[in-house]
C-alpha cells in the first residue's frame, strides 16, 4: 500500500481545530482509497516561540524537506507574539525555502451557499505569487523614534519570478475556460508593476489561445464584487493576491470556505496546504470555526499527491453536506458537527 508522509503544523488558535478536522477526513479518505497518510505533528506555533524563543528549530526547514507534503492550520497570536515575528519565523520562510511559488486559491460557491452578493455561477482561480514581490522582507528603518524617522520596504520582482507565476497562470487558464486576468497597479507603480505587465505580454505570445486582460488592483477588487462570473484565472503579486483572496473568500460565503495550496510546481521540495484564513483569535476555543476551508485544502493536497479519486471523494462529501445546509454560514454549526457530517458523507 502506498504511504505518504505528511508534516502537520496545526499552529495557533483555530488552526489546531481545523487541522484536527481535516486530518480526520483525510484519514477516512486514505482508508477508503487504500493508501496510508503517515502524519508527524510539529508543535511550531506562538506557544512554541514563548517556550523556546523561536517559531521552529534552526533545522526546521531541513526537517520538513523530507516529507511528501506539509499541512498547516494557521499561525499567529498577535496578543502575545508580534505577527511580523511569528509569520516571518515560520509560514513565510517555508513558502520561500521550498520555492512554493504558486499559491492556488479557488473561489466558487459550494451548493447551498448564496454568499453576500447572491451572485450566481462564478468560478475564479486565483494564482498568487508566493515567494517574492512585496513580501521580500527587504527594508529597514532609520532615525528610530525621532520625527525624522523613515521606514522603507522594498518590493523585489525578478524576471524569473514573474515569468514562472504568469506562465503557471496561463497553463491553468488553458486547462480551464481560457481566460487570464493579470492584476497590477502599473498606473502608479512605475517600476515593478510596469515590469510585470511587460513580462505578462511577453509570456502571452506563447499562449495565443488564452484571452488576456490587464486590470489594476483597485478595479479588480470592484470587478470581483460586481461581476465575479466574468473572471476565470486571476494572477496577482504576493500582496495583491493576499488581499484579493480574502475578498474571494468573502464572495464565496466567508473565510471558512476558502482553501489554498502553496505549490512547488517543479516538485523539488514539498508543497504546503492550508486554509486562506488565520488563527481567528476572536473565535478560538469556541469550537465554532468552520473546518470546510481546511478540509478543502486537504482535498487539494490529495490531488497533488496523485490521489485524485480520494480528492474528488472529499470534495463530494463537502458538497453533499453544504447542499443539505450544514456548515453554510459562519457560526451556524459547531466544528465537530460539520466534521462528523463530512465523515458520514464519505462512507
Ligand atoms: P483571520 O482569518 O484569522 O480572521 C478574520 C475573521 O474571519 C475573524 O472574525 C475570524 O473569526 C473569521 N474566521 C476566520 N476563519 C474562520 C473559520 N474557519 N470559521 C469561521 N470564521 C472564521 O484573520 P486575522 O484576524 O487578521 O488574523 C488572526 C491571526 O492569524 C493573525 O496573527 C494573522 O497574522 C494570522 N494569519 C495567519 C494565516 C496563516 O497562518 N496562514 C493567515 C491569515 C492570518
Ligand atoms: C495568508 C496570510 C499570510 C499572507 C500572512 C499571515 C503572512 O494572510 O496566507 O493569506 O499574507 O500570506
Ligand atoms: Mn491572507
The per-residue pLDDT for range 101-138, each reduced to its tens digit, is: 999 999 999 999 999 998 889 999 999 999 999 999 99
Task: Specify whether the CB–CB gap between 14 and 74 falls below 8 A.
Answer: yes
CB 90 within 8 A of CB 29: no
Mapping DSSP to helix (H, G, I), strand (E, B) and coil, where does residue 268 land? coil
Statement to judge: residues 44 and 28 lie in one domain = yes
Which position among 17, 185, 207, 215 bears the catalytic label? Answer: 185
Q: 195 with 269, same domain?
A: no
Both 342 and 235 in a single domain?
A: no
Which atom of ligand 1 is nearest the CA belonging to 294? 18
pTM: 0.98
Asked which of 227, 251, 275 is the last residue of a domain, the reply is: 251
At 213 the pLDDT is 98
- Confirm whether 101 is a catalytic residue: no
Q: Which ligand 2 atom lies nearest to the CA of residue 74? A: 6
Predicted pLDDT at 241: 98
Task: Give the residues of the chain that fall short of pLDDT 70.
Answer: none
| Atom 11, ligand 2: residue with shortest CA distance | 242
Same domain (yes/no): 68, 99: yes
Q: Which residues contact 337 (CB under 8 A, 6 or more apart)?
A: 326, 327
* Among the listed residues 264, 262, 282, the one whose alpha carbon sits nearest the alpha carbon of residue 273: 262
Identify the pLDDT of residue 330: 83
Residue where a domain terminates, one of 216, 251, 286: 251
| Residue (of 73, 102, 160) closest to 304 by Cα position | 102
Label residue 107 exposed, middle or buried (CB < 10 Å: 0-12, 13-18, 19+): buried
DSSP 187-217: TT-TTHHHHHHHHHHHHHTT-TTSEEEEEEH
**Number of structural domains found in the chain:** 2
| Ligand number, closest to the Cα atom of 9 | 1
Can you read off the three cell numbers belonging to residue 191? 517600476
Question: How many Cβ atoms from other residues are within 10 Å of residue 38's Cβ?
Answer: 11
Shared domain for 189 and 171, answered yes or no, is: yes
- The reported pLDDT for the residue numbered 119 is 84
19 and 91 belong to one structural domain: yes
| pLDDT score, position 131 | 98
CATH code where residue 166 lies: 3.40.718.10
Domain that holds residue 269: 1-107+255-347
101, 18: one domain: yes
> Which residues touch 93 (CB under 8 Å, ≥6 apart)?
61
Q: Are residues 214 and 122 in the same domain?
A: yes
Is 218 among the residues known to form the active site? yes
Shared domain for 220 and 129, answered yes or no, is yes
- Of 251, 270, 290, which residue is a domain's last? 251
Select which of 68, 123, 246, 340 is catalytic: 246
45 & 135 share domain: no
**Angle in degrees, CA 227, 260, 20, rounded to 5:** 130
CA-nearest of 260, 279, 275, 277 to 46 is: 279
- Do 6 and 58 lie in one domain? The reply is yes
DSSP E strands, the chain: 2-11, 35-41, 69-74, 102-108, 123-129, 133-142, 150-156, 179-184, 211-216, 233-236, 259-263, 271-275
227/101 same-domain check:
no
Amino acid at each position: 500500500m502506498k504511504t505518504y508522509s505528511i508534516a502537520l503544523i496545526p499552529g495557533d488558535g483555530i488552526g489546531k481545530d481545523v487541522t484536527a478536522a481535516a486530518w480526520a477526513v483525510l484519514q477516512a479518505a486514505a482508508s477508503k482509497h487504500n493508501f496510508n497518510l503517515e502524519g508527524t505533528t510539529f508543535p511550531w506555533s506562538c506557544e512554541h516561540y514563548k517556550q523556546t524563543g523561536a517559531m521552529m528549530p534552526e533545522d526546521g526547514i531541513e526537517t520538513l524537506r523530507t516529507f511528501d507534503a506539509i499541512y498547516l492550520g494557521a499561525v499567529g497570536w498577535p496578543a502575545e507574539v508580534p505577527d511580523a515575528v511569528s509569520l516571518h519565523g515560520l509560514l513565510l520562510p517555508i513558502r520561500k525555502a521550498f520555492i512554493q511559488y504558486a499559491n492556488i486559491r479557488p473561489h466558487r460557491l459550494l451548493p447551498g451557499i448564496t454568499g453576500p452578493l447572491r451572485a450566481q455561477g462564478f468560478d475564479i482561480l486565483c494564482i498568487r505569487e508566493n515567494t517574492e514581490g512585496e513580501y521580500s522582507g527587504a527594508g529597514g528603518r532609520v532615525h528610530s523614534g525621532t520625527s525624522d524617522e523613515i521606514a522603507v520596504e522594498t518590493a523585489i520582482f525578478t524576471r524569473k519570478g514573474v515569468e514562472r507565476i504568469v506562465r503557471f497562470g496561463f497553463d491553468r487558464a488553458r486547462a480551464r475556460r481560457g481566460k487570464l486576468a493579470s492584476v497590477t497597479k502599473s498606473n502608479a507603480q512605475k517600476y515593478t508593476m510596469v515590469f510585470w505587465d511587460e513580462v505578462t505580454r511577453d509570456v502571452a505570445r506563447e499562449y495565443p489561445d488564452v484571452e488576456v486582460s490587464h486590470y489594476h488592483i483597485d478595479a479588480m477588487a470592484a470587478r470581483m464584487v460586481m461581476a465575479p462570473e466574468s473572471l476565470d484565472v486571476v494572477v496577482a503579486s504576493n500582496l495583491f493576491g493576499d488581499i484579493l483572496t480574502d475578498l474571494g473568500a468573502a464572495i464565496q460565503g466567508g473565510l471558512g470556505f476558502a482553501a489554498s495550496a502553496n505549490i512547488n510546481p517543479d516538485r523539488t521540495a514539498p508543497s504546503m496546504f492550508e486554509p486562506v484564513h488565520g488563527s481567528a483569535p476572536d473565535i478560538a476555543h469556541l469550537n465554532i470555526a468552520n473546518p470546510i476551508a481546511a478540509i478543502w485544502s486537504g482535498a487539494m493536497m490529495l490531488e497533488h499527491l496523485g490521489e485524485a479519486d480520494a480528492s474528488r471523494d472529499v470534495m463530494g462529501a463537502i458538497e453533499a453536506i453544504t447542499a443539505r445546509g450544514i456548515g453554510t454560514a459562519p457560526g451556524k454549526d459547531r466544528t465537530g458537527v460539520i466534521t462528523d457530517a463530512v465523515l458520514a458523507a464519505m462512507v
